[in-house]
Amino acid sequence: MGFCALIPAYNEAERIERTVSAARMVDGIDHVVVIDDGSEDDTASIAMRAGADVTSTGGNSGKGKALDRGLAHMIETGIHFDGIILLDGDLADSASQAGTLLEPVASGKADMTIAAFPRPTGNAGFGLVKRLAVFGIKRYGNREFNATAPLSGQRALNRSAIEACTPFAVGYGVEVALTVHALRAGLTVLEIPTTMTHAATGRDVAGFLHRGRQFIHVARSIMRLSRER
């Protein structure tokens, strides 16, 4: 199977080159598309120099809209793909572990895989957003699915999962909606342990503001999922 990596990025100039380079080295990833979501730095040009195909949302539209743009770009430009892998722009060298997500999907063991990160150290958050996401997945997806990485954006999807889960949900609610829609469709979802790392937010003002926005987006996504039922 041939996979295309979709990497939504906003102001990731510091890490995007290493993320793209690592993703391009993964066996099974045939194409890397970076979606510049209105960055105010050199994210787009750096990604292009690193070998990515770059498209843009034209403004800061949020993660879900950026992924929709990336998928549309793949179709518009005739990129062949049997599946996609979603990667965050700040993974840097740890994006090389994307292969662990691809193997179960490529072999037919799973329709969607999700990267589980190591337990964070230092000044992480209080887990409110994660607990809300776990509740939404159990309530509106499948009560038997015990999500340990409900907010992980690193995922591999086959064609069945793509059809069940797109268009992508808005903003930071995209991950919860991906899991719920796949479970509702009766697809096999597996969480895969990794040692991936990213630029985690701390317990400073910026970190709390980020988690506040994330909480609101996840809550709105859960409300939409409840209405879909």
pLDDT over threshold 90, residue 201? no
Domain boundaries, the chain: 3-228
Q: What is the DSSP string of the chain?
A: --EEEEEEESS-TTTHHHHHHHHHTSTTEEEEEEEE-S-SSSHHHHHHHTT-EEEE-SS---HHHHHHHHHHHHHHTT---SEEEE--TT-GGGGGGHHHHHHHHHTTS-SEEEEEPPPP-SS---SHHHHHHHHHHHHHT-TT---S-TT---EEEEHHHHHHH-SPPSGGGHHHHHHHHHHHTT--EEEEE---------SSHHHHHHHHHHHHHHHHHHHHHHHH-
Q: What is the pLDDT of residues 92-104, one digit of tens each?
A: 999 999 999 999 9
Query: Does domain 3-228 bear CATH number 2.40.128.110?
Result: no
Instruction: Output the pLDDT for position 55.
Output: 98
Give pLDDT tens digits for 45-91.
999 999 999 999 999 999 999 999 999 999 999 999 999 999 999 99
